[in-house]
Structure 1
Amino acid sequence: MGSLNKTILIGKVLDTPDMRFSVNGAGIIKFNLEVKRPPRVSGEESPPDKIPIVAFSKQAEMLAEKVKQDDIVMIEGRVQVRTYNKQDGQTQWSTEVVALSSIVLNEDNIKNFNVMSNLPLGTDNIQEDQAKKEENYDDIPF
């Protein structure tokens, strides 16, 4: 049985991204992304989630150059759960999203996203169905 580990998040960068380098020189960047939850009850706002983001190598370098605190970004990546031992010997679990691609959203991108997200579900299917109805197979020479 196959599996899929993919997530797409759009949110606000909560803190200044922390760029570091591994012993072999690969870039590692970490920051937290505030992502709003859909409301549980109509008219009631749910608290946002604070999601740790990490990126490596070229993606980390690109994020370090382009992303700053309070930017709105779209992150595409995978969920990673890892364990590590704290200095006191206790095992600590960490869940984070490993960014594989990202887009810093400016005002134009956000407007386009809002327009697209307000379209009713299945709009493109309606257009495809209409195009199929308009096809005329009598003109085909075979």
Structure 2
Amino acid sequence: MNLIRRHNGLFPSLLNDVLTPDWFGGMDQSNFAFPAVNIREEETGFTLELAIPGREKEDFNIEVDHDVLTISMEVKDKEETKENGYTRREFRYGSFKRAFTLPETVNADAIEANYEAGILRFSLPKKEEALPKPKRLIEIGK
């Protein structure tokens, strides 16, 4: 099933413009939306990449349970500025959670992850029995 979002007429577009984070004080929440995901299958495994810039590796919680890889993050920021007798406080909170059902061919015990340059990258190696077998020549017997 594909979900297709349509904007017909002025009202939905205007409503979306009003409800954007910029309308309510200019807070950029782009880091708190679902991150973009790339999944690539290779001969020996899968590579899963999530674009999550501006974070630290300690911000992520990653677990595998019953062949489901779950990636989550929760961020709480507090900023306080004091100038000329005024105090300005800003609080930001954001989180996301993504879950991926692993194929039976993935060796869940050998999954590796790293975070570099804003990309959270997973290496999901295939089980030995799922790897392609080398070609062999079979001779015909007598």
- TM-score, scaled relative to structure 1: 0.27
Q: Which has the larger radius of gyration?
A: 2
Q: Which one has a larger percent helix, Structure 1 or Structure 2? A: 1
Q: Which has the higher strand share?
A: 2
